[in-house]
Amino acid sequence: MIIKPQWSILTVGDGDLSFSRSLFSHFNPHKLTATVLDSVDELTHKYGNDNLAFLKQNDCEVITEFDVTRSESIDQLSPCYDVVIFQFPLVPNFSSQQQFIQQTQFDDIKLSVNTLNRRLLRLFLKHSFNSLLSESGAQLAYISSKDVKPYIEWDIEYSLTQGLKTQISDIHFVGSTPFDIKQLPGYKIRNVDRDKHVKDTESLTYVWTTRDNRQAAFERIPSLTPPPELFGENGCDICHAGPFITEAERHNHLVGKKHKRMAEYDEQWRNYLTWSRC
């Protein structure tokens, strides 16, 4: 993960704050604001409050009950950051079937856990570029995520910013780099709800910037692997598959379980985008 000492950094959804603490200790950024979805009591109950106390002692702003999908949370901050980072995002588990229905069904629109996570990340990117990143700064948003199912089925590279209009300019996914936890001693990747340390499976940090900053992003992050190639009519863009050489290859892909599942998510997502207009 590329972090420059002159940057101002905002972390989002930082479970136990160990990522922010390690970032502060090992990268020495100009400014660091750390945010968590939990309240102070929830955070302390799940993980203790050592990291919170450490960050406060070192004059880092820490905001609890910060929900990146809600404007009320976003409005607490000003657009002064160079990079906004969301490590291993995941919507919290549902406490009941009723809560699941409440969060995934709006009018005629039905989301699934897959598309609910896409919504979380779309709003993270939208709010980052509209309200959190400084116009004169590096203009970067990072999401780290595991390179395995179910996360790779969120189509992080292409689905999140589809048709997303921001106040400044188009947002571009510029590529990904391997996420190396060894850069961040003390960082424990947390489970969404429990005090469990998640296995360090292979993970990627995905990077977005604005149209005008694309070249600068490649210069700042030379290790970026460009987005996966899409093949349009010669492949399947929903699954990033192709090019298909024969009709039989195309047919076998289209009747396969993976494609059917991805096509269902894609349809659900497009319906949601049309309905939500955001």
Ligand X SMILES: C[S@@+](CC[C@H](N)C(=O)[O-])C[C@H]1O[C@@H](n2cnc3c(N)ncnc32)[C@H](O)[C@@H]1O
Out of 8, 22, 33, 87, the residue judged to bind ligand X by CB under 6 A:
87
* Euclidean distance between CA atoms 155 and 226, whole angstroms: 15
Q: Pick from 32, 37, 74, 125: which binds ligand X (CB under 6 A)?
A: 37
What is the H or E stretch that residue 34 is in? strand 31-35
The residue at minimum Cβ distance from ligand X is 13
Site for ligand X in 215-254 (CB under 6 A): none
Is the Cβ of residue 20 or residue 213 nearer to ligand X in the bound state?
20
Of 49 and 191, CB closest to ligand X: 191
Residue 89 touches ligand X, criterion: CB under 6 A: yes
> Does 91 sit near ligand X (CB under 6 A)?
yes
Smaller CB separation from ligand X, 154 or 244:
154
Min. distance of Cβ 5 from ligand X in angstroms? Answer: 22
Task: Choose one: 61-69, 169-177, 203-211, 239-247; the region binding ligand X (CB under 6 A).
Answer: 61-69
Structure tokens at 234: 């010669």
Q: Which region among 12-20, 52-60, 150-158, 175-183 touches ligand X (by CB under 6 A)?
A: 12-20
Give the DSSP per-residue string, 175-223: EEEE--GGGSTT--PBPSSSS-BPP---EEEEEEEEGGGHHHHHHH-TT
Q: 193 or 264: whose CB is closer to ligand X?
A: 193
**For residue 268, how far is the Cα from the chain centroid?**
19
Are 36 and 15 spatial neighbours (Cβ–Cβ below 8 Å)?
yes
Rule CB under 6 A: say whether 88 interacts with ligand X: yes
Q: How far is the CB of 266 from ligand X (least distance, A)?
A: 22
Q: Where is 53: in which H helix or E strand?
A: helix 50-57
Cβ atoms of 259 and 236 within 8 Å: the answer is yes
Using the rule CB under 6 A, is 160 a contact of ligand X? no
Q: Report the 10 Å Cβ neighbour count for 5.
A: 8
Q: Report the 10 Å Cβ neighbour count for 238.
A: 19
Q: Is 5 helix (H, G, I), strand (E, B) or coil?
A: coil
Does 67 engage in binding with ligand X (CB under 6 A)? Answer: yes
Question: Collapsing DSSP states into helix, strand and coil, what is residue 65?
Answer: coil
Q: Which of 28, 41, 92, 148 binds ligand X (CB under 6 A)?
A: 92
Cis bond before residue 150 (omega within 30° of 0): yes
> Which of 90, 121, 125, 241 touches ligand X (CB under 6 A)?
90
CB of 90 to ligand X, least distance (A): 4
> 190 or 220, CB closer to ligand X?
190
Count of chain residues binding ligand X (CB under 6 A): 20
- Nearest in space to 177 (alpha carbons), one of 212, 136, 220: 220
Would you count residue 111 as binding ligand X (CB under 6 A)? no
Binding site for ligand X (CB under 6 A): 12-15, 19, 37, 67-69, 87-92, 120, 189-192
